[in-house]
Structure 1
Amino acid sequence: MNKIFKLAMLSTTATALLLSAVQAQETVVWWDFLGGGDGVRMKSLIERFNTEHEGEITIEGTTLEWGTPFYSKVQTSSAIGEGPDVMTYHLSRVPLGVDSGALAEISTDDLAAVGLGADTFASANWEAGQSDGKQYAVPFDIHSIVLYYNKDKLAEAGLLGEDGKPTGLDGADNFMAALEQLQPNSEYALSLQTSGDGTPWRVFYSLFGQQDGVFLGEDGTFLPDDSIPKAVSAVETMASWVEGGFAPALTEYEGSVALFTSGAAALHMNGVWEVPTMTDLAAKGELGFEWGAIAIPTFFDHPATWADSHGFAIPSNGGKEMTPEKKAAVFEVIAWMNKNSLAWADAGHIPAYSPTRDSEEFKTMEPNATYSVLADTAVFDPKSTLAGVASPVYDAVANYIAPAMNGEMSPQDAIDEMKADLQDQAD
């Protein structure tokens, strides 16, 4: 009997210990929208995190469709308290996320507890995660557009310096002269998306930012009168590349990439996220030329380049409070991802976390290190519920700026109609 009692006690103790271990492990429900090379790298990071935190924290990850479907799902799920514990989020979408009530405010004390704060990120990047001075997202990277180049073609045209990087491209006139030098030995001197919204917006906003243009005034006016000439100049510059036959007309995103990777174009304007494409093709011996990437040239007054960030946000989930243990686990996830973001830089991104960006390991990572100056010259999307990824601003670019690039309407008309369209939606 005594033996049976002891066995029962041992069994009860073992069960209690097991339950205690299970209860001590926090499961963090995670949503992201990352596909392609980004998705592969993020899954690898999640696996590393789970291995290092075995028995303590487990990330339970789900990948949803990028763009509008993701943000619609977040909004509806958060409203009924069924959202994840943490999610990836474009910082350009923060104003709309806050306005719709989908995002929870993030405490600076909670961030400080895991070593994160305003002093660990570039100021513009940190502020891009704010709305009305309150923090709603933590930056993870800075992704911008860059200028990819075919070293062979630039060397042939005398546009490659001794350091192997392009020379003589700054200034709108100099850039046009360079296109003229490159054109004879290429189908196109420059390839970029000239149909749709993505690249046209990113290039326009870069050129506009280089002139200190104001897209959204403090009083809520889109494209205030004194910024209209700057916007027109940006579109005129973009249209001149197509009009001169240096860049292809009415070309979709994928086609613009193919023109460069096939060797048909000497230069290519696109996001840093295409770095893995170039790296992988080169590794397979399928690229056929040496390539590099630099920050977008300075066409106007000073360097400035459109940028956005993948960040981490916490849904409001109908006001449901996290347990202290869950909250600690969520912030450990956010901090760990930033502190291990060198692996994320393999996707072409610039780490948002300053200690990683300033590390010797990152400084020797090419071509990222070459264009990492973008962290200091980045211009983020205007803070508006109409701006950001898959927004009315992007729609307006497809409806007005892209047609102007292709000679289907004048740059002045394009800007006037875009201004009127966005103002009507805002009022």
Structure 2
Amino acid sequence: MTGTSNRMRLTRRGLLGAGMAAFAAPMLAACASPAVAGLSGGQLDPRTLIYWNLFGGGDGSRMETMEAQYQRTHGGPSSLQSTVFAWGNPYYSKLTLATVGDKPPDVAISHLTRAKNLALADVIEPITDADLALVGLSSADFNPKAWAAQRLNGDNIAVPLDTHPIVMFYNVDVCRKAGLTASDGALKPIHGMAEFESALKAVSKVTGGVAATLANVAETATPWRFFTTLYHQHADASPVLSDDGARFTIDDGIALDVMDRVASWVKQGWMNDALNYADAETDLFTGRTGFYFEGEWEITTAQGIKGLRFGMVPIPTLYDKAAAQADSHTFVLPKKDRTPAQRRQAMGFIKSMLDQSMTWAQGGHIPAYLPVRESAAYARLEPQADYASAANNAIYDDPAWYSGSGSTFEGIIGAQLALAQQRAVTPRAALAATRSQLQVYLHTPSPL
């Protein structure tokens, strides 16, 4: 690609982006340093690559390690300026604001489920096969599921860094007492609903209470991730959203079956009725439960608990086929004027991050870059290697202008699923409320 201008015009899409980002403007002024690209008029060394991401905690520490390696091999600290923003909608608003203002970063992180909306709004630009070839990459280097999911209208819009699915954590000591582990402490395979419910019953006898925990108080993402995992384990499950979010096409029968099943576990005392995020995982750490359902990123928290023996596996296949709700962190190229050298620089940074996927994998995320994912070193990484197959069965949220990680859709349906698990409403009432609350979004044409 040449340096010919591709500056965003103030079209309907551009105006939408500006409007979305306006909500974040006061926060931007408060948190920006003078040299942060897109947020002020500060000048940087033109050779400095500007990178934005949303990684905090353990992910943030590992990303800093990877960035430091890039700096060591690309000219020192001045070769990279990395800026971290708050996770979720504020981050995407900031990215849109900067791009509309013609001051975007060179490379940015996006959840795969949010990247398509950025592409439709002209906030990011395609990544061509020629771009990949600049740094020795091709589509064959990536997990096929993640690679296919980022495609839009025949274009590549993102380079996947990982897959991060919901998984099942287990307390080794509790499961051993329940007779569910092999001699090395690994959980014996669980196949089908009958074996899973038998395991719940056995664990409940050990704990004297719940066998499995799932955060559902002040938490909407986890109930949605768990539900859609089991929903899509049905071979004939329909999409939850269709026509880019214009229709709510959930199969009521399958949805009610899943919610009724979870409610039955709660009624029998095998699963919690109401726990917040911290308490749900603490119950696993302290042996008050045997199983805990959450994203694999909680591996870092579990590893920090002294004396805890735990493992992680894909959520068992309880119905017809394996499935795991997931998203992917991806690298995107915000829309801006680029010289060929700047394009090569951006792709070189992405390649450097991919080459360091083992560092990233230590935080639980499954590498999308196959040379690392299929390496002997990754195969020895425990317990990460034990649930890596979940990436091959990843279920990404259906595309819609209001869906994706941290989205309005997730908040609406997740809240109702949480209430159903708490037995505050019936599954049928939860489904009806979800359908009712989605009407305004179903009947609002996509503004992208």
Q: TM-score, normalised by structure 1?
A: 0.88
The residue aligned with 1:308 is: 327
The residue aligned with 2:410 is: 394
Secondary structure of residue in 1 paired with 2:125: coil
Query: Would the alpha carbon gap of residues 384 and 309 (structure 1) be closer, same or farther in structure 2, given more than 3 Å must change?
Result: same
Tell me whether 1:150 sits opposite 2:182 in the alignment.
no
- Aligned partner of 1:266 among 270, 284, 290: 290
Tell me whether 1:338 sits opposite 2:362 in the alignment.
no
Alignment of 1:313-332 (within 5 A): 313-316=332-335, 320-332=336-348
- Aligned amino acid, residue 173 of structure 2: D
Aligned length: 396
Unaligned residue ranges in structure 2 (runs of 5+):
1-43, 444-448
Partner Cα distance (1:159, 1:181) in 2: 8
TM-superposed CA distance for 1:395, in Å, is 1.4
- Aligned partner of 1:365 among 375, 378, 381: 381
Partner Cα distance (1:133, 1:237) in 2: 40
The residue aligned with 1:292 is: 311
TM-superposed CA distance for 1:219, in Å, is 7.6
Partner Cα distance (1:205, 1:342) in 2: 29
- Aligned partner of 1:237 among 261, 283, 286: 261
8 A Cα contact 2:221 2:411, kept in partner: no
- Aligned amino acid, residue 262 of structure 2: M
After superposition, the C-alpha distances for 1:67-121 in whole angstroms (9 at most, x for unaligned) are 1111111111111112211111100112221233322222221012212232111
Partner Cα distance (2:287, 2:329) in 1: 31
Query: Would the alpha carbon gap of residues 224 and 397 (structure 1) be closer, same or farther in structure 2, given more than 3 Å must change?
Result: closer
The residue aligned with 2:220 is: 197
Partner Cα distance (1:245, 1:126) in 2: 41
Secondary structure of residue in 2 paired with 1:343: helix
Secondary structure of residue in 1 paired with 2:357: coil
- Aligned amino acid, residue 215 of structure 2: Q
TM-superposed CA distance for 1:417, in Å, is 2.9
The residue aligned with 1:40 is: 61
TM-superposed CA distance for 1:220, in Å, is 5.0
8 A Cα contact 2:324 2:393, kept in partner: yes
After superposition, the C-alpha distances for 1:227-258 in whole angstroms (9 at most, x for unaligned) are 22112222222222322222222211112111
Partner Cα distance (2:224, 2:188) in 1: 25
Query: Percentage identity across aligned positions?
Result: 31
Secondary structure of residue in 1 paired with 2:437: helix
The residue aligned with 1:375 is: 391
- Aligned partner of 2:143 among 94, 107, 122: 122
Secondary structure of residue in 2 paired with 1:62: strand
Partner Cα distance (1:240, 1:173) in 2: 14
Partner Cα distance (1:24, 1:64) in 2: 22
- Aligned partner of 2:366 among 334, 350, 357: 350
- Aligned amino acid, residue 149 of structure 1: Y
8 A Cα contact 2:242 2:398, kept in partner: no
Tell me whether 1:210 sits opposite 2:233 in the alignment.
yes
Bigger Rg, structure 1 or 2: 1
TM-superposed CA distance for 1:164, in Å, is 2.9
The residue aligned with 1:94 is: 115
8 A Cα contact 1:243 1:406, kept in partner: no
The residue aligned with 2:25 is: none
Partner Cα distance (2:429, 2:364) in 1: 36
Q: TM-score, normalised by structure 2?
A: 0.84
Tell me whether 1:257 sits opposite 2:273 in the alignment.
no
TM-superposed CA distance for 1:390, in Å, is 1.6
After superposition, the C-alpha distances for 1:343-387 in whole angstroms (9 at most, x for unaligned) are 100001110001110000001101111111112111111122121
Partner Cα distance (2:362, 2:158) in 1: 23
8 A Cα contact 1:168 1:178, kept in partner: no
Secondary structure of residue in 1 paired with 2:97: helix
Alignment of 1:18-29 (within 5 A): 26-29=47-50
Secondary structure of residue in 2 paired with 1:194: coil
8 A Cα contact 1:221 1:423, kept in partner: no
- Aligned partner of 2:210 among 188, 195, 199: 188
